[in-house]
Structures are given as structure tokens and as C-alpha cells.
Structure 1
Amino acid sequence: MKLGLLSAAVALLAATTAYSADVYQPEPAPMMDAPEVVVSEASGWYLRGDIGYSFNDMKGANYFQGSNSNRVDFDSADLDDSFLLGAGVGYQVNNYLRTDVTFDYLTRADFNGSTSGSCGVADDCTSSDKTSMTVYSLLANAYVDLGTYGSVTPYVGAGIGGSYVKWKDLHNTSCDTADSTNCDPTYDHDGKGSWRLTYALMAGASIDVTCNIKADVGYRFRHISGGDMFGYNLGGGPGEDKGFNMHEARVGARYAFGGCDQPAPYEPPPADIVYK
């Protein structure tokens, strides 16, 4: 009897052990903390280049007529539009702020003006005055990037610096107002050059082309203060211009050094091995 009970107990224990082994499931691995998400700040040096078209608005010009005590305005003072070329180096401080230094060349802009008064052939004369100018500008600029939407980043900016305005010789021909064929000889006035205070306001958008190249499309308003224009000759001059407002449409590109650097991808640690 005792032997039968012992045999039954051993068989029951063995069956229970086998069943337990069949239904055992390893404990789930503990949840790992999610990796911290780090938003990298864009920063680094870049080069830029620009081309554009400048709509030039001359604020006028004046000169000394007959003597140094009689200063009068030109009756008309028109300046043609011109093209511009630019280059610069800058630094992206963070995702929202960047700065650069730019050098711009404004191609030749022709000037046509006229004055009135007496001349050698009549008491009532009208002059024709022709010259041209070129401009070199050096500006320090700062920009605020207004967030990136897809691949487009709008921005606003401002700059300040100086411009060297170089006038060619002015050719002055005065003719009888009643008879335009009755004229004085043409006189030349030496063109002047001078550095002027300049400031600029910008708005536009940059477009991601590759990870380190951005296209740039924008508008710039540039104001150049007045200065010397031409010298004295035979009772006329010297003359000064009153400065310029320039409305510029520009396109260009920026190349960022290190713009393609990417952080290493996150790899989770291997799961613990569970032995049955």
C-alpha cells in the first residue's frame, strides 16, 4: 500500500515539473530609457556669391555756378540702372542668427543732367552734362532666419559700412536755349571719388539645394550718402551729388563648410540572454 502511494506521488511530481517547464516564459527585459533627443544647432563658416540688378534713384546734384557763393541745383539729374556682383564670408551663429562681411561691385551707371543760366553764346542757355559712376561697397551684415519650412528659410537683415563712389569726368556743353545749334565748346570737369557712409536693409529666403549649398533669393535696399562729384572748370563747379537709394534684386548661393556632418545613428544595447 505504502509503495503504491509513493509511486503515485513520484509520478505526480514528475508531471507537475514537466508542465511547469513547458509553460515557463522568461521575464521581459526591463524597458530602457528612451535616448535623449538633442536638437543640433547649425553653426560654422560659409562663403557666398551674388549677382543682381540695381534700380538706382539719384537724390539730385548741385554745383557752384559762376562763383563760390552761388550754389544751385541741377535742373535734372538722372542715373541709369546697373548690374551688381558680390562676394562675402560669413558665420552661422545658430539656427536663427548669422553674420557676414560682403564686398559688392556696382557696374557703370550713366548720368545725364542739365542746368540753366548764361553761357558764352547767350544769356539764356541750357547745358547737357554727361558722366558715369561705379561703386564699390564693403558692408558688415547680420541676418535673422525666421525658421525653416520644408527646404525654405525666410530671413530679414541689416548692414552698415562704406561705399567708394567713383565718378568719371563730366562733359558739359551749354547751348542757346532758343537755338540748340548755337553752343559753347564742351568743357570737361575732373571726376571725383570718395568714400561714403552706407546702410542696407534685406529680406529674402534661402533654399536648401544640398546639405551644404543654399540658394539665396532676396531684395536689398541700399542707401549711399552724398559726396564729391566733379571739379571746377571755367566758372563752373565743383559739384556734389546728394546720394542714392538703390533697390536691388539679387540671387546667389552660400556654401557652408561642414554642412554635411551627421550625428552617429542611435543603436540600442543588446537584450539580455535568458536561459531556460
Structure 2
Amino acid sequence: MMNKSSFTSLHKAVIAVFALSAASGLAQAADLDQVLYATPVEQDVYKPVEIGSGWYLRGDIAYVPSDNVKARLKGYNLLGEGRGDTKATAAYSGGVGYQFTDNIRGDVTVGYRKMTVSREPVEAGIWDVMANAYYDIGNFSGVTPYVGAGLGMAKVDYKVHGPVGEYINGRDTTRLQWALMAGAAIDVTENVKLDFGYRYARISSGDAGNIGPLTITDNSLESHQIRAGLRMTTW
């Protein structure tokens, strides 16, 4: 039989084993708790992409100085050309564009101007739709110089007033137009720019009117335009 001394020793050993087991269990629980409640691994944060942030609206007004217009009777070159000076006028346009990169942008514009021939009862309303591309050279202290070119169509509607209108019929024609531009944009705010520039535009030749069976044709229409406008970045 187990004496009192042996029983005491066994009792102490059992207590020691339980103590070690309890300590081991607590340590494992603490480790598990750290795993369960550890701070999540920081994930990569992606900023949302601003879809369409390069879109902009534009509006322009231009001063168009007087220019020379040449006309002739179609098929009768021996009669020479008639010449007339146009009156200075204003041109208006508006459109929407997109900034593709820091240097390249493009827009589509619709414009209107009136052409009146000095000392003649002849005038024309000119509507145009243009697709334009620009190269922004760089931003220098808030000023961005640029160059550009455009291609589109122009609708030229001639009208003749007064007594001669009884036998001269004006023509309405749609023609090719191209343009070259240069200028500079000035930052007003982050989203607003003032645009000052020059545009040379040329419309291909076309019929201007009829005198009986004869057709009067203009020898293309060109204009030099000094422009001022506003560009506003939108959505």
C-alpha cells in the first residue's frame, strides 16, 4: 500500500502536471487570440479613376477683318475675274472637346459668320462644322501655347438684295473647309481657361449664284480670324 509520503509526492506531481498543462493551454489560447484578432494585413489602396475627366466645353468669338473675294462666270475665263472686298465682321462658335494627354487634345465645333461684299448687294451666311486637333506645347506659369489644324464642312448660303435680285439668284452650297490655328490658353482656375488665338480658314470654291443661264462661281473663300474664347473642363 501507498504510504502517506508517497501519496503526497504523487499528489504534488499530478498538480504539477495540471499546472504545466494549464499554462501550455493558456499560452496556446493567447497565440490563437493573437491570430484571430491580429490587425488585418494592409491592402493596396486604389484611387477611383475619374472617367471622362478630360472632357471640356468651349465657346469662342472672333474678329474677321475685311478680305478680298474673287468671282468669275463659270466657263467664261476670257471675261476675267470680278473682285470685291468683304466687310469686317464677327464669327461665333462653340463645341465640345477631350484632353487625351497632357499635350494632345481635340474638339468638334459648330460656327457661324456672315460675309457681306462691300458696295454690292451680296451677302452670305456661313455655317461650319469642324473637327480640330491641337498640340499643347507645355504649361509655362499658367500659360499654354498651342498649334492646331482642323477639317470639316461649310454651308455657304448666298443672297442678293435690291433690284439686281430680280435676275440674280443666290446659291446654297456645302463645301470642304480646312483651318490652321495657333494661340495660347491662360489658366483662370483649375477647370477654366481663357483661349486667345489666330485661325486661318479656307473654304473651297463653289457656285455663288446665277444670272439667267450663266453661273457665278467664287474662287474659294478665306478668312483671317482673331479669336478669344473660354474653355471649361466638365464631368
The alignment's TM-score, normalised by the length of structure 2, stands at 0.71
Partner of 1:140: 131
Q: Secondary structure at the match of 1:190?
A: strand
Superposition deviation, residue 74 in structure 1:
4.0
Superposition deviation, residue 139 in structure 1:
0.6
More helix by share: 2
1:216 equivalent in alignment to 2:195: yes
Post-superposition Cα deviations, 1:142-164, rounded to whole Å, max 9, x if no partner, equal 00000000110000000001111
Q: Secondary structure at the match of 1:162?
A: strand
Partner of 2:57: 47
- The two structures, once aligned, show a CA RMSD in angstroms of 2.3
Q: What is the distance in 1 between the residues matched to 2:106 and 2:227?
A: 18
Post-superposition Cα deviations, 1:49-78, rounded to whole Å, max 9, x if no partner, equal 0001112534410126xxx76763344322
Cα pair 1:102 1:138 within 8 Å, conserved:
yes
Partner of 1:101: 108
Query: What stretches of structure 2 of length at least 5 have no aligned partner?
Result: 1-51
Q: Secondary structure at the match of 2:170?
A: coil
Post-superposition Cα deviations, 1:212-266, rounded to whole Å, max 9, x if no partner, equal 1111000000011110111133xx73211111221000000011025xxxxxxxx
Q: Secondary structure at the match of 2:65?
A: strand
Cα pair 2:69 2:86 within 8 Å, conserved:
no
Instruction: Call closer, same or farther: CA 1:198–1:70 in 2, change over 3 Å.
Output: closer
Instruction: Call closer, same or farther: CA 1:229–1:171 in 2, change over 3 Å.
Output: farther
Q: What is the distance in 2 between the residues matched to 1:229 and 1:83?
A: 21
Matched residues, percent identical? Answer: 38
1:151 equivalent in alignment to 2:139: no
Q: What is the distance in 1 between the residues matched to 2:122 and 2:171?
A: 11
Instruction: Call closer, same or farther: CA 1:170–1:72 in 2, change over 3 Å.
Output: farther
The alignment's TM-score, normalised by the length of structure 1, stands at 0.61
1:257 equivalent in alignment to 2:234: yes
Cα pair 1:61 1:242 within 8 Å, conserved:
yes
Q: 85-94 or 69-78: which moved more?
A: 69-78
Say which of 207, 211, 214 aligns to 1:232: 211
1:57 equivalent in alignment to 2:67: yes
1:110 equivalent in alignment to 2:116: yes
Partner of 1:247: 224
Instruction: Call closer, same or farther: CA 1:62–1:69 in 2, change over 3 Å.
Output: closer
1:72 equivalent in alignment to 2:51: no
Instruction: Call closer, same or farther: CA 1:84–1:136 in 2, change over 3 Å.
Output: same
Instruction: Call closer, same or farther: CA 1:71–1:230 in 2, change over 3 Å.
Output: farther
Between the two proteins, the alignment pairs up a number of residues equal to 184
Query: What stretches of structure 1 of length at least 5 have no aligned partner?
Result: 1-41, 114-128, 174-185, 259-276
Post-superposition Cα deviations, 1:89-111, rounded to whole Å, max 9, x if no partner, equal 000001000000011101x3221
